Amino acid sequence: MNAINSAEWRIRMADGSSENLAPESSLVTRMYLSFKRFLKNLILIVRRFLEKSWNIGKNEPRKVIHCLKVGIALSVVSLFYYMRPLYNGVGGTAMWAVMTVVVVFEYTVGATLYKCLNRATGTFCAGFLAIGIHWIANQSGKRFEPIIMGVSIFILASAATFTRFIPAVKARFDYGTMIFILTFTLVSISGYRVANLLNMAHERVSTIIIGASLCVITSILIFPIWAGEELHKLVISNLEKLAESLDCCVAEFFGDSEDTTTNTKKLLAFKCVLNSKASEETMANFARWEPAHGLFNFQHPWGKYLKISASMRSCACCIEALTSCINQKDQASELLKNQLTNPCQQVSSSTSEILKELALNMKTMRKSSRMNMLIQEKNNAIQELETLMEQLSGLLIIQPKNVKDDQEKPVIRTSSTNVIPLVEIIPTATFASLVIEIATRIEGVVDVVEELSKLAKFKLEDADMMIKQNKPVIKNIIN
Amino acid sequence: MNAINSAEWRIRMADGSSENLAPESSLVTRMYLSFKRFLKNLILIVRRFLEKSWNIGKNEPRKVIHCLKVGIALSVVSLFYYMRPLYNGVGGTAMWAVMTVVVVFEYTVGATLYKCLNRATGTFCAGFLAIGIHWIANQSGKRFEPIIMGVSIFILASAATFTRFIPAVKARFDYGTMIFILTFTLVSISGYRVANLLNMAHERVSTIIIGASLCVITSILIFPIWAGEELHKLVISNLEKLAESLDCCVAEFFGDSEDTTTNTKKLLAFKCVLNSKASEETMANFARWEPAHGLFNFQHPWGKYLKISASMRSCACCIEALTSCINQKDQASELLKNQLTNPCQQVSSSTSEILKELALNMKTMRKSSRMNMLIQEKNNAIQELETLMEQLSGLLIIQPKNVKDDQEKPVIRTSSTNVIPLVEIIPTATFASLVIEIATRIEGVVDVVEELSKLAKFKLEDADMMIKQNKPVIKNIIN
């Protein structure tokens, strides 16, 4: 065996194997090879990283613009302080302006404003309180001063940290609370003379204001990215994706879909709806701080967007269950499927029509008068499907459990009836029932969009415009 | 009408109305009343806030402990610097220690370590690079110095900001990148003399290390809260909740549930599974930084927990669809329901048994030998349900569409058959099909837990222990 093995090794070497087993050259060669391998891996990692970055930059050029904005703001603030004659080292005031720009400049205007206002308020409140406590400590003599200071820092830091766990505070003032603790502690330990303190506080506040204003100005004036607008777009695109997924599911189940690769992508578009909760909440939090922009007023009802998304997620869950029916579609009885194809498609297409109309309404910030008609249409389609299913009476043949498969089943055939095992009825029945469920749940989305349109004062689409868009003018709509 | 109105108003006043319309006392009274109302509202808000805080503190005492820990760390670091003789104002080194403690101290050990290590690494890299560039700028003369500095800040800040958009960097080094930009800019604008710079860098790094170590020590030694352990517990409780929800749904549908209030709560427990994605991702990110603790080694496969949760969410989606069947249960045919009750309950109970066993396995970090048997049981139950459904042949009576309701339906009755309209079959059929789907999807969870148990080297439960726990010792398990 050994001889054979060594022979094999020799053959491998003759093949040009990179593993040289000769002991005299092993160390140098091995080191060279491992270095080569390391270099190869490094190049591969760097290349992948660059490719990924390039793709991000290509797909979302606004992210690149944001980076350039940060660069501009930082260069401006540092050059400003670098060239100022009253410059006096990192410990001086320049630092606070730079720090503010780095820490406060965020991707969206809302996030930047949130941080700026929180930072300013936190600093102001903490400074005020700290100077007060400092004065009290000063009055009570050298001996008690460190005790009062230590106890006050302990109590206030603990209490402020605790408030960060309260959801309402966390959503709006998390950063401010942290800055409060920071400033309070810094001012508290900053020595004895109050006069000096006031001077320092004034300097610090003014540099923070300079830094913060620079951030806000850069953020708003150069290609602003509004959290509210992003949220608005995200919800609209999610509405469209939901409609797309639903259409695709129905097409896939009833078998009139052609292209499978793009279809799978469209089919799974609903997953975006399921996964966007966290980012929507963050955006809604930031959007609250934004001034009026584009189509949105200050204090636009952003909270409603979260409700719309919650309703959409409950629909998306049903679509997720729907996809499992598609896997069983080969089991489904063709007969029942043929019977239900049309009404099912009617329900789903009217539902997706409603979703698209909602997306359009939100996009144009107008209330379309078609909505009531579409809902009526959808309800009619549901009614029709349900009536059909009522008419399709199933004759359920219940057999005793111990009847074996090879025994003859008591099957009855007449000219107008077909025997279908329950297992073949189930995929289509489940599918139809889920489609109805989705069509019912859509009303939740419609209701919240309606609430939004009232709060945000969507304009009613006028007849002229509808004629322009080639839509029929509907009169006497039944509610 | 006016006379009657005023009479009414007088009567209201006699009733002790708070709205006094007499013009002579209006201003003072109104001011008093509005002040009173304001005070009342304020007291109400404060009271609610305190109640909320009290509840948070009562339900999660560890949050209170965390707050006290922050208080202790901050008091210690500030007293230390307050009493040091070489103290020299806020601009001095003391500040960095305080700032590090405030910014870096987080709820979990993992988050604290993440921030400490990021802060230290970011500061070190940026300092090193900045001193290098500073030296180059210094060599190139007074005229080019601000240009080189400005350009380098612009390029590095932009590039570093861009890397924060890359998901892998964002998850692990987001904070470090921010600190990198901050330190680089601060060191760049900090004047001309490199000797001074090195001194400053040394001081800053040492104070940051003092602050960071204080945080890490407090965080690990006093009632540590591990992100990994939290994630572990969350996933286990989600597994249990999923089992509970499934059991509850089936009980609710087949009508053997008693208490409705606790039931609704249990029924909707699956919503926790759907909503915990964001917090799980955060925890998994932080858990990576934690050293070995409790049952977990350093670099425990935390990523698998996210996969378990993803599989659980796909099951939870099906349960969400299941709940809609419960609303239609009154429509369902009793006959079919009675037929399917037992096998459906068997499938669901074996599925929830698997979930509970998975939760137990994860809790004890042991691989139970029962799992294969349970999966076999579940598969048998599915098989049984499917066979039953195959045996329940439905005789589908297909009528032409224009047959009206008042016309007699072509119904055939034999002694062993029952006519059930499709619409009454659907709720039960959908329910059964979704239960099977959930039972199938559970395998995804089982597979990932299996992967986790291999990677985390779960011990095999030994026979002695199983006898102790009164479990049957299974031999010759069929795979």
Report pLDDT digits (tens) over B19-35. Answer: 444 455 688 888 899 99
Which whole number is the average pLDDT over B384-409?
58
Encoding tokens for residue A370? 């078609």
For A463-477, B23-37, B245-259, which range has the lowest pLDDT when averaged over its residues? A463-477
* Nearest residue of A to residue B62, measured between CA atoms: A162
Chain B residues inside the 8 Å CB shell of A80: none
For A15-24, A61-70, A113-122, B137-146, which range has the lowest pLDDT when averaged over its residues? A15-24
CB contact at 8 A, A419 and A411: yes
Are B79 and A150 a contacting pair at CB < 8 A?
yes
Which whole number is the average pLDDT over B285-312?
89
By Cβ distance, the residue of B162, B328, B386 closest to A53 is: B162
Between B139 and B2, the more confident residue is B139
Which 296-315 residues of chain B touch chain A by CB within 8 A? 313-314
Please say if the pLDDT value at position A67 is more than 50. yes
pLDDT for residue A299: 82
**Complex prediction ipTM:** 0.80
Long-range contacts from A411-419, C-beta under 8 angstroms, 24+ separation: A411/B393, A412/B395, A412/B412, A412/B414, A412/B417, A414/B412, A416/B397, A416/B398, A416/B399, A416/B410, A417/B395, A417/B396, A417/B397, A417/B398, A417/B410, A417/B412, A418/A335, A418/B395, A418/B396, A418/B398, A419/B393, A419/B394, A419/B395, A419/B396
Chains A, B: CB contacts within 8 A come to: 355
pLDDT for residue A386: 85
pLDDT (tens digit per residue) in A289-298: 999 888 888 8
A81 to chain B, any CB pair closer than 8 A? The answer is yes
Q: Which is it for strands B459-460 and B366-367: parallel, antiparallel or unpaired?
A: parallel
Which residue's entry shows tokens 């206030």? A156
Are A394 and B390 a contacting pair at CB < 8 A?
no
Please say if the pLDDT value at position B477 is more than 60. no
Would you say the C-alpha torsion A364, A368, A372, A373 has a positive or negative sign?
A: negative
Cα separation, B420 vs B416, in Å, equals: 13
For A50-64, A183-197, B284-298, B353-367, which range has the lowest pLDDT when averaged over its residues? A183-197
Which whole number is the average pLDDT over A454-473?
63
pLDDT for residue A337: 83
3-state secondary structure of A159: helix
pLDDT (tens digit per residue) in A170-223: 888 999 999 999 988 888 877 555 566 677 777 777 788 888 888 999 999 989
For A57-61, A464-468, B188-192, B398-402, which range has the lowest pLDDT when averaged over its residues? B398-402
Helices marked H in B328-404 — which ranges? 334-364, 370-391
- The three state secondary structure string of A225-256 is CCHHHHHHHHHHHHHHHHHHHHHHHHHHHCCC
Between B86 and B362, the more confident residue is B362
Between B73 and A329, the more confident residue is B73
* Nearest residue of A to residue B142, measured between CA atoms: A83
Which whole number is the average pLDDT over A215-235?
91
* Geometric angle at alpha carbon B202, from A95 and B130, rounded to 5°: 60
Are B430 and A427 a contacting pair at CB < 8 A?
no
Count, residues in chain A:
479
Of B242, B241, B264, B243, the closest CA to residue B252 belongs to B264
B87 to chain A, any CB pair closer than 8 A? The answer is yes
Are B429 and A426 a contacting pair at CB < 8 A?
yes
Question: What is the CB-side half-sphere exposure of residue B225 using CA atoms within 13 A?
Answer: 17
pLDDT for residue B388: 83
pLDDT for residue B109: 92
Report the interhelical angle of B370-391 vs A422-455 (nearest 10°). Answer: 100
Which neighbouring-strand residues pair with B459?
B366
CB contact at 8 A, A166 and B75: no
- In angstroms, the separation between the Cα of residue B22 and the nearest Cα of chain A is 37
Q: What is the pTM of this model?
A: 0.81
Between B2 and A237, the more confident residue is A237
Q: Which is it for strands B417-421 and A459-460: parallel, antiparallel or unpaired?
A: unpaired
pLDDT (tens digit per residue) in A258-303: 666 667 788 888 888 988 898 999 999 999 999 988 888 888 899 9
Please say if the pLDDT value at position B476 is more than 70. no
Chain B residues inside the 8 Å CB shell of A433: 325, 328, 426-427, 429-430
Q: In A344-353, which positions are buried (b, 16+ CB within 10 angstroms) versus exposed (e)?
A: bbbbbbbbbb
Q: E strand or H helix at B366, and its extent? A: strand B366-367
pLDDT for residue B194: 56
* Chain B contact probe: residue of A100, A181, A433, A438 with most B CBs at under 10 A: A433
- In angstroms, the separation between the Cα of residue A361 and the nearest Cα of chain B is 28
* Nearest residue of B to residue A68, measured between CA atoms: B158
Chain A residues inside the 8 Å CB shell of B163: 53
Cα separation, B391 vs A469, in Å, equals: 55
Mean pLDDT of chain B: 80
Which whole number is the average pLDDT over A79-86?
62
Please say if the pLDDT value at position B85 is more than 70. no
Which neighbouring-strand residues pair with A395?
B395, B419
Encoding tokens for residue A198? 């006031």
Percent of chain A with pLDDT over 70: 79
Are B67 and A159 a contacting pair at CB < 8 A?
yes
CB contact at 8 A, B212 and B100: yes
Which whole number is the average pLDDT over B177-184?
91
pLDDT for residue B146: 79
Are B336 and A425 a contacting pair at CB < 8 A?
no
A205 to chain B, any CB pair closer than 8 A? The answer is no
Please say if the pLDDT value at position A479 is more than 60. no
Which 8-37 residues of chain B touch chain A by CB within 8 A? none
B341 to chain A, any CB pair closer than 8 A? The answer is no
By Cβ distance, the residue of A83, A157, A430 closest to B146 is: A83
A246 to chain B, any CB pair closer than 8 A? The answer is no
For A52-61, A355-364, A410-419, which range has the lowest pLDDT when averaged over its residues? A410-419
Question: What is the CB-side half-sphere exposure of residue A436 using CA atoms within 13 A?
Answer: 25
Please say if the pLDDT value at position A21 is more than 60. no
Q: Which is it for strands B366-367 and A459-460: parallel, antiparallel or unpaired?
A: unpaired
Of B258, B267, B453, the closest CA to residue B371 belongs to B453
Cα separation, B124 vs B128, in Å, equals: 6
- In angstroms, the separation between the Cα of residue A414 and the nearest Cα of chain B is 9
Please say if the pLDDT value at position A433 is more than 90. no
Which whole number is the average pLDDT over A16-21?
45
Q: How confident is the model at residue B18 (pLDDT cuts 50, 70, 90)?
A: very low
Would you give the DSSP letter of residue A296?
B
Are A388 and B401 a contacting pair at CB < 8 A?
yes
* Geometric angle at alpha carbon B229, from B228 and B230, rounded to 5°: 90
3-state secondary structure of A297: coil
Mean pLDDT of chain A: 80
* Nearest residue of B to residue A418, measured between CA atoms: B396
Which neighbouring-strand residues pair with B396?
A394, A418
- In angstroms, the separation between the Cα of residue B373 and the nearest Cα of chain A is 25
Please say if the pLDDT value at position A402 is more than 60. no
